Structure 1
């Protein structure tokens, strides 16, 4: 009798799909097409992401698939890894990055951004601003301002001293 009960439990459990790893066949930010075991293909699997964070999952990324209620047809993706670009972080660091190589790295000494940055809205800085490149506004560059100042005269007077560097 115990063997019969055990057999029935095992048969029922074998019909419940367990969490598995898949590979993205077609990426997106909301629903994915996945390759599962052997020749299995899952269509329009919902991608669950944290509120306030949205990313486009690239093809060939690895994903964690959870079949809700044990049914493959009700699967969701809850984690992804292994895109073409992967950033390795050190202990305590956090990095947000994309597949184009842009990144915001939060590390022990501050924040490092890689890529062009566009700010929509104001920017208030409480300490010094340094640049290894040109600084410009809608009218011109600071270098052009220096050159205009250093060359200017008032009538027969000499050029301004000290020169702006």
Structure 2
């Protein structure tokens, strides 16, 4: 007797339905596993520093144009209360974050003759961390507001290059104005 001529659906339809159901279950399990491995970013605590222009129009323009990713770092929320003019990105492994502060005061060490590094038409002044020699904060010093970018060790050049591009597009260049020596 031929089973394809019975009262139920043809065998090929039953096999296809079973394969489709098993495939759907496998897909749901894979998606669930991937979603579990991608935790929500942990809020980053950003300490307050003197930032007299953090609530300026220039900082609002810059903050609204910042990207969601800087190389291997993804945008992270800030712990409340977050200082005005601040943004953070965190690596996927939960390591040390990158911190941007807009509208900060001129760095004390930024005096006439201080060495500058130009990245994509933006002049940066580097301040070495006094505790951790591998950490530095870079200050964009040729825009209407000072912008500080603190980079953790091993973060690479992507962050400063991307921020330089955003700065060059969103804030006009201004003459560099270091403090007088002495």
Say yes or no: TM over 0.5: no
Using structure 1 for the length normalisation, give the TM-score: 0.31
Higher relative contact order (CA 8 A, sep 6+): 2
Larger strand share, 1 or 2: 1
Structure label with greater radius of gyration = 1
